[in-house]
Amino acid sequence: MKKTDLIQAFKNNGGWLHSRSFGYKTHIYKYLKELIQKGEVKEVKRGLFYYKKLNPVADSFNEIAILYPNAVICLFSAWHYYQLTTTVPYRHHLAIPHKSKPAKTDYPPVKFYYWSKEQYELGMVKQNKLKIYNVEKSVCDAVKFRNKVGEEITLEVLKKYMNLNQRDIEKLMRYAKQMRIEKTISPMLKTLI
């Protein structure tokens, strides 16, 4: 394999490569090290690399999808993604199954929430490789965790949700019932109507 083959391998994988994809070929590591020194390739975590020329500003959500395939974007990160809050999280908020033990990396910064199977799977949608909770589930999470995230953020999320053209109140109330917050969210919504 030549250096051009290595670059082509990056291109074929959308700018990402894992060291296991080229085995123990030492000449590949020589090319890889050279590309890292030139600043063309970044090692995101041990054995996982991305080619900056294909992906000049690495989309952190794509990084999350690759680094933590079982993680689901939740809470502050989901609200920011759906533009339900003006708060920009300084780390990614990720839900993972209760007994998971993901290997944490220094970058991008993350906070894990260990949720039961039912809570973890409820409202999960896939957008390409990224897993994220849908808008209605994300709004319900704001209400469910209102004591931890603060009333101000909870109200902001609810207000912005109510201003969406694509909101689905029936779905929202279905999730609220499943999450046992129906009696809490109903009066909050009535004040916003």
> Partners of 41 in the beta sheet?
51
Strand pairing of 16-18 and 48-51?
antiparallel
pLDDT (tens digit, 9 = 90+) per residue, 130-147? 899 999 999 999 999 999
Note the pLDDT of residue 56. 40
Residue 23: is its pLDDT beyond 90? no
Give the mean model confidence (pLDDT) for residues 20-24.
69
Please answer whether residues 1 and 25 qualify as being in contact, where contact means their C-beta atoms are separated by less than 8 angstroms: yes
What pLDDT, in 10s, does the model give residues 55-92?
Answer: 444 467 877 888 888 999 999 999 999 999 998 888 99
Would you state the pLDDT for residue 57? 40
Per-residue burial over 63-94, b = 16 or more CB atoms within 10 Å of its CB, e = otherwise = bbbbbbeebbbbbbbbbbbbebbeeebeebbb
Mean pLDDT of the chain: 87
Residue 25 has pLDDT above 70, yes or no: no
pLDDT number for residue 186: 94
Task: List CB contacts of 53: < 8 A, sequence separation 6 or more.
Answer: 40
